[in-house]
Chain A
Amino acid sequence: MIDRRHILTLTALGLMAAPLSAMAQSTDKAASFVKSTGDKLVAVVNGPGSISSKRAAMTQIINADVDVDGIGRFCLGRYWKLASPEQQKQYLTLFHEVLVTNITAKLGEYQGVKFTLGRSKPQDEEAVVSTTVERPNNAPTAVDWIIANPSADPKIIDVVAEGTSLRLTQRQDYGSYLTHNNNNIDALIAAMKNQISQSG
């Protein structure tokens, strides 16, 4: 009896171990991906150079490591299906610009930033990597990075700061704007253009 139970346990453990180690591998990859992207971002933020050169460096990192198109589609929510291919294209181009503008607008605020890597865990098909972001004269902030395709082609698809998801907040902002503008996607596109021209 005892032996059989042991064999059963061992077999069960063996069966579990294979997917577990694959999962652990992909979360490890996600963690090192966040580390390298984070290091690049911190180097740009704290490094020398003008705002425009920093903006260019930032754009490069965002294009390489962030799934901007995916986030953009998510942020449009149910309106994505309603948009014409032309509107979708226009919207995504503007979304890229808005994202970069919003991030670079915070550059000064983040001077002296550093981050420490916390634990990472799988979540559905994605991996969540927790970090703590510290800025001078600010309480440490818990920031989670959601990584899609952690093992093959890792890309950031969301940033969750103190429990607030960047893409969900943006989606609800756009959703509300569209609801109050007769679901007119051209109105959203015009508003985004206006936003970029004002901050530029």
Chain B
Amino acid sequence: MRSYLSPRVSFFGTQRLLLPLVAAIALCTSGCATRPPADDPDAIADFEQTNDPLEPTNRVFYAINNGLDTVILRPLALGYRAVVPGQVREGIHNVLANLGTPVVLGNDILSGKPRRAGDTTMRFLINTTAGVLGIFDVAAKWGYKEHDADFGMTMANWGVPEGPFLFLPVLGPTDPRDAAGFGVDIAMDPFTWVGPPSSTGVTVFKWTRYGLNAVDSRERFLDPIDQIKKTALDPYATFRSLFRQHRHAQIEELRNDHRATVPAWFPRQPATPAEH
């Protein structure tokens, strides 16, 4: 199968350096998946590939999240889709994405990908001005396509292993590395630090942004999630598989972005004839 499914070698050597994992091991005393018997190597291989030692605990959180989603977030997303026209939703999505560019840029730089950092900078400059505060994604039409970047991906690029699967309250499917990365992204976000905490305007802005982000992303996944819940025999296992595969693909794409640092529009020196 695809190369990203093979275990990654890391200079950290061991996953135990990750603090969240230690917490996870502590939790494990309360609910751990049972390892198949030693005389069944195929079953053990499956168990290790699934890498979900906290499955019973994770399933509890999955059930809680799923319940909350059914009564709160999904109805909100359905309402949002029914009330707000598609083009307006697209505009709101673009504004939210534009507000997220500082974190994306920070991670592009930390990943050591100058062309990605350049794309993000151009996207921010173009979309904030020509795109009217980010409403229109003009930059994509001009060749600066959007890409994903977060601190979990950055750490993956550095060689930090993902660790076992986790399903966390509110956050959903993740792993120790990406959960830690989520925290770092919040700390990296300039909007976390703007204004005095007592300012009502700032507080309203922050929570409106968080809320809109949640409803916007839920609305975009309405159909696929409904479809999975309808067709999967074990939706939890299906979400686990999809999360991991998508994550690995994002990281693989980041790793394979070897575009030259000199952009295409930069005047090139005439190629010197090769000497023999």
Report which A residues bind B (CB closer than 8 A): 2, 77-78, 102, 105-106, 109, 137, 160, 162-165, 168-169, 172-177, 179-180, 188, 191-192, 195, 199
Identify whether the interface residues of B are mostly helix, strand, loop, or mixed.
Answer: helix
Contacting residues of chain B (211-259) with chain A, CB-CB under 8 angstroms: 223, 227, 230-234, 236-238, 240-242, 245-246, 248-250, 252-253
Q: Are A163 and B234 in contact (CB under 8 A)?
A: no
Q: Are A162 and B233 in contact (CB under 8 A)?
A: no
Q: Are A180 and B231 in contact (CB under 8 A)?
A: no
**Interface presence of B1 (CB below 8 A):** yes
CB of A169, distance to nearest CB on chain B (Å):
5
For residue A77, which residue of chain B has the nearest CB? B46
Q: Are B248 and A102 in contact (CB under 8 A)?
A: no
B residues near A77, Cβ cutoff 8 Å: 46
- How many residue pairs link A and B with beta carbons under 8 A? The number is 68
For residue A167, which residue of chain B has the nearest CB? B1
Knowing A137-B86, A175-B237 are in contact, say whether A165-B232 is a contact too (CB < 8 A): no
A–B Cβ pairs within 8 angstroms, 5 of them? A102-B231, A165-B2, A169-B238, A172-B241, A195-B231
Most chain A CB within a 10 A radius of its CB, from B42, B236, B245, B248: B245
A-B CB proximity, top 6 nearest = A163-B249, A176-B237, A172-B241, A78-B42, A177-B233, A164-B245
Q: Are A163 and B238 in contact (CB under 8 A)?
A: no
Q: Are B233 and A191 in contact (CB under 8 A)?
A: yes
Identify whether the interface residues of A are mostly helix, strand, loop, or mixed.
Answer: helix
Q: Which of A105, A106, A169 contacts B245 (CB 8 A)?
A: A169
A residues near B2, Cβ cutoff 8 Å: 160, 165
Q: Are A2 and B276 in contact (CB under 8 A)?
A: yes
CB of A157, distance to nearest CB on chain B (Å):
11
B: number of interface residues (CB 8 Å): 29
CB of A58, distance to nearest CB on chain B (Å):
16
For residue B242, which residue of chain A has the nearest CB? A164
CB of B74, distance to nearest CB on chain A (Å):
17
Q: Are B231 and A177 in contact (CB under 8 A)?
A: no
Contacting residues of chain B (97-154) with chain A, CB-CB under 8 angstroms: none
A residues near B242, Cβ cutoff 8 Å: 164, 169
Report which B residues bind A (CB closer than 8 A): 1-2, 42-43, 45-46, 50, 86, 223, 227, 230-234, 236-238, 240-242, 245-246, 248-250, 252-253, 276
For residue A82, which residue of chain B has the nearest CB? B42
Give the complex CA separation of A175 and B50 in angstroms: 10
Q: Which of B46, B232, B245 contacts A163 (CB 8 A)?
A: B245
Give the complex CA separation of A163 and B255 in angstroms: 14
CB of A76, distance to nearest CB on chain B (Å):
12
Give the complex CA separation of A191 and B233 in angstroms: 7
CB of B248, distance to nearest CB on chain A (Å):
7
A residues near B253, Cβ cutoff 8 Å: 163
Q: Are B250 and A163 in contact (CB under 8 A)?
A: yes
Q: Are B241 and A180 in contact (CB under 8 A)?
A: no
CB of A137, distance to nearest CB on chain B (Å):
5
Q: Are A78 and B245 in contact (CB under 8 A)?
A: no
Q: Are A173 and B238 in contact (CB under 8 A)?
A: yes
Give the complex CA separation of A172 and B46 in angstroms: 9
Knowing A164-B246, A168-B1 are in contact, say whether A105-B234 is a contact too (CB < 8 A): no
Give the complex CA separation of A105 and B238 in angstroms: 18
For residue B235, which residue of chain A has the nearest CB? A173
A residues near B233, Cβ cutoff 8 Å: 173-174, 177, 188, 191-192, 195
Q: Which of A105, A163, A179 contacts B231 (CB 8 A)?
A: A105
Q: Are B241 and A168 in contact (CB under 8 A)?
A: yes
CB of B108, distance to nearest CB on chain A (Å):
19
Q: Which of B86, B227, B240, B252 contacts A172 (CB 8 A)?
A: B240
